[in-house]
Structure 1
Amino acid sequence: MTVSSLIMNLQSIYSFMIIGYVLLSWLPNARESFIGVWLGKLVEPYLGIFRRFIPPIGGMLDLSPIIAIFALRFIAFGVIAVLEFILNMF
């Protein structure tokens, strides 16, 4: 397994965790379950960064998870590009 595939796999896993956390908000009391609390501890610190700058639309529609997933993807590609550049120097 290469470093780039590892980074992309980790990015995909974290993106699915964000999606799962968002889907839990649609179910009553699901975020208070063991899985909801566990996902919240892992995902909320990252989502909180985006929620400070992106207010919900109409008070109900929170777009910050979508923007957070796009940003995570760009960060992963950026890290891969930097690592490949560094590794190609040697």
Structure 2
Amino acid sequence: MTPVSHSIALASTRGQIADFVEALVLVYTLVIIAHLLISIVQSAGVRIPYNTFTSSVIGFLRDAAEPYLAFFRRFIPPLGPFDLSPIVAIILLRIVGGVVVSLVQG
């Protein structure tokens, strides 16, 4: 393998890894937002019809988002009825994700 083709292959691989990390950050951001929206709907008193599919989706969103959000809730207390920790969590996730993507791309 020539040095030029090796560097092209490495650049291509790095680009693919960066794209994957960027997509992962986006998907996790969407999971957090979906979890928050469902939490808001449920706290407003709206009953989501129970079936195994919706129960599984709600359980997945809770299990995926809550550990990350709980970390921020330890440091950022709610201001009355408003919980600002998800906003800070999403902003920090996007910033760190952008830095990681930049580092991987080189």
Q: TM-score, normalised by structure 1?
A: 0.80
Deviation, 1:62, is 0.7
Query: Which runs of structure 2 are paired with 1:9-88 in the superposition (5 Å)?
Result: 9-28=23-42, 30=48, 33-58=55-80, 60-85=81-106
RMSD: 1.9
Gaps of 5+ in 2: 1-14, 49-53
Q: Which has the higher contact order (CA 8 A, sep 6+)?
A: 2
Deviation, 1:7, is 1.1
Q: Report the count of equivalent residues.
A: 83
What is the CA–CA distance in structure 2 between the aligned matches of 1:9 and 1:84, rounded to whole Å?
14
Larger radius of gyration: 2
The structure where helix makes up a greater share of residues is 2
Q: TM-score, normalised by structure 2?
A: 0.69
Deviation, 1:72, is 0.6
SS at match of 2:75: coil
What is the CA–CA distance in structure 2 between the aligned matches of 1:84 and 1:65, rounded to whole Å?
28
